Structure 1
Amino acid sequence: MVVSEAVICHVLKRSYAGNEIIKRLMQRSGGIGVTAKMLEAVHSHYDLKYLLEHKPVCRITPEILKSQKQLKCMKLLLDIDPETPVTKEVVFRALEIGNDFDRRYRKHEQEGKDVLETLFDRSPDIAVTEEMVQAARCAADMEILLKHLEPGTRISTDVVAAISKLGLGEAYLTMRPLLKFDPSIRLDPKMALQMIGYGNGINVLEMLLEHDPSMPVTEEMFLQIFGQTLRESDGKELADVMHKYGTSLVFTDKVREVIDHAYQNKSEAAIKKRFYSLRMTDEDGIEPVGESMDEKTPEKSVGRSQSDSGDNAYEIIDED
Structure 2
Amino acid sequence: LGFYIGSILIRPELVAFLCFVPMLPQPPELNTVVRRMANHNFDDPKNLWIMDSRNGSIFTQRREGRELAYGVHRRELAYGLHRPLCPERGINVVPALPRAQDYNRQYFDAILSKEEGNGLSYFYVLTELTNQTENFTLRVYMLQGSVWCLHTSATAQLHLPLPKAKVVLVDNKIYMVVSPADDIIVLDLTTSSLSRIQHPPGVKYDIFHTFLSRADDPSGVYVIHVNGFKLCIWLHKGDNWLLVDTICLHEMCANLRMLDNTLEDAHSGYCYVCHAGDNAEFVVLQMCGCIFYLDVKNRTLRKLVAKDQYFTDVYPFMMVWPPTFPKLKDGPARFAM
TM-score range, shorter chain: under 0.3
Higher strand content, 1 or 2: 2
**Greater relative CO (CA pairs within 8 A, separation 6+):** 2
TM-score, L = length of structure 1: 0.22
TM-score with structure 2 setting the length: 0.21
